[in-house]
Amino acid sequence: MNFIETRGNDGVKSKEVTFSEAILSPSASFGGLYVPKELPKLEKNFILNHINSSYKELAYDILKAFEIDIEEEEIRKALDLYDKFDNPNNPCPVVKVKDDLFVHEQYHGPTRAFKDMALQPFGSILSSIAKKREEKYLILAATSGDTGPAALNTFKNKENIQVACLYPDGGTSDVQRLQMVCEDGKNLKVIGIKGNFDDAQTALKNLLASDSFKKELEKDNIKLSAANSVNFGRIIFQIIYHFWSYIQLLKQEEIKYGEKIYLVVPSGNFGNVLGGFYALQMGVPVEKLLVASNENKILTEWINTGIYDIRDKKLILTKSPAMDILKSSNIERVIYSICKAERTKELMEDLNRDKIFKMNEKETKELQKYFSAINSDDKFGAKIIKEFLNSNYLMDPHTATCIKAYQELKEKDLKVVIYSTAEWTKFSPTVLQALHENSTPFPDKEALETISKEYNTKLPSSIKELFSSEIKHKSVIEKEKIEEEIVRFIRE
């Protein structure tokens, strides 16, 4: 299967590329992204045939359906990295919490967040391609908190790979920051920037599209790629677990085959819910994708109005920081699916130039056929965390935003799966404030130990060890200095 560009072709890049080419060089013409030329058509009983499959078996068959140009041995080697999860056969369990409500727990991997689900196998595949081609790559990552730790973990000490990870200084939880700055791989560079996630992501996109930066890297025979979800290598693995949601409800005899369900996804950069959108189009019986936002409600406004307007928006720092994003990269792939290349280019150029785009009525109705959206605030999140612990379920602040969508957007009496994208341990001070119903600013270590003791909850060793680990990366710089800092790193 080949991949094409969301904004059309510039006459310089190839009109179609293979999967390996798309993930090695993820920046497409006119600053666009790569998407599959067409989604695979699965066999009629694909879902039923995987009722008793392990997650790795399901993943392998979906990847094969995409006909990616990766050798079978390398695919299986990449999927074997799910052995690092709490339960290799079921790395993301679907847990019942109410009669019609289920939590898809995506945080059972090495860094305790959903990014492990895609980045563990993706990192293995990208590294193997680089090694096979005898090429060296600089992998850029921009993070609001979870992509960074997962990318650093998967690429650590990989041959032919260097990683530069950008994070907003003060814009992540302490645990997320420690997971990054304590990583000791010799091929890793972690850079705090004085700015927010949008600044980090904009810098990443600009570097990916910069001919001068690429020429600078070429002096050292280094090519450029990215670990963010601008890279379809991330997205392809994010399709799989939406199939798993449906299969698990079938397996638990909570639904009958063909019965539709709702999927609720807390959204920032829109990659997770994009995977659900593709899964729906590939045959998963989804009634609708419900998008949950925090006080940075740009996605809610876009889905409800067709207008994406950040002209007067200032990023709000919330208790669910992974969703503190104003410019969501993966809406472009959804817009392409609805509007095709010429219109996508027009809308994206409007956004880049004027900080606003407006979809027409027909386009907006098509968008709303697949998505509904709502937002909540920190006060709501704290209330939900407390309420659900009283029912013996402990969740993080991002998962809590999903409950608003479950309560208010569900139009039919169907089962609902919400996506828990991070373990509570990543945001323990916020969780403890919610449980104690106060605003005391607890240090992370104290909050972790208190929750573990008071609520008889086990702490993963990887989290406990962070607080005695040596900080290896101390760089915090102005965003204008990013390119200079990265060039210095690759030449050290």
| Contact assessment for residue 105 and residue 50, using Cβ atoms and an 8 Å cutoff | no
Read off the tokens for 6.
């969301």
pLDDT at residue 183, as a whole number: 96
Tell me how far apart the terminal alpha carbons of the chain are, to the nearest angstrom: 39
pLDDT at residue 295, as a whole number: 97
pLDDT at residue 440, as a whole number: 86
DSSP secondary-structure letter at 3?
E
Average pLDDT (324-337) is 96
Average pLDDT (430-438) is 95
Spatial separation of the C-alpha atoms in residues 361 and 86, rounded to whole Å: 46
Q: Which pTM does this prediction carry?
A: 0.95
Q: Could you tell me the pLDDT band of residue 391, with boundaries at 50, 70 and 90?
A: confident
Q: What percent of the chain has pLDDT over 90?
A: 97
CA distances from 374 to 81, 106, 302, 359 (A): 35, 22, 11, 19
Domains belonging to the chain, first-starting first, are 82-113+233-468 (3.40.50.1100)
Give tens-digit pLDDT for 56-96.
999 999 999 999 999 999 999 999 999 999 999 999 999 99
Count of other CB atoms within 10 angstroms of residue 83: 12
Average pLDDT (395-415) is 98
Average pLDDT (45-64) is 97
| Contact assessment for residue 302 and residue 325, using Cβ atoms and an 8 Å cutoff | no
Average pLDDT (383-401) is 96
CA distances from 423 to 92, 475, 481 (A): 12, 27, 33
Give tens-digit pLDDT for 181-199.
999 999 999 999 999 999 9
Spatial separation of the C-alpha atoms in residues 417 and 249, rounded to whole Å: 9
Residue 266 has pLDDT above 90, yes or no: yes
Give tens-digit pLDDT for 143-185.
988 999 999 999 999 999 999 999 999 999 999 999 999 999 9
pLDDT at residue 62, as a whole number: 98
pLDDT at residue 374, as a whole number: 98
pLDDT at residue 220, as a whole number: 95
Read off the tokens for 44.
């009629």
Paired residues of 225 in beta bridges:
139
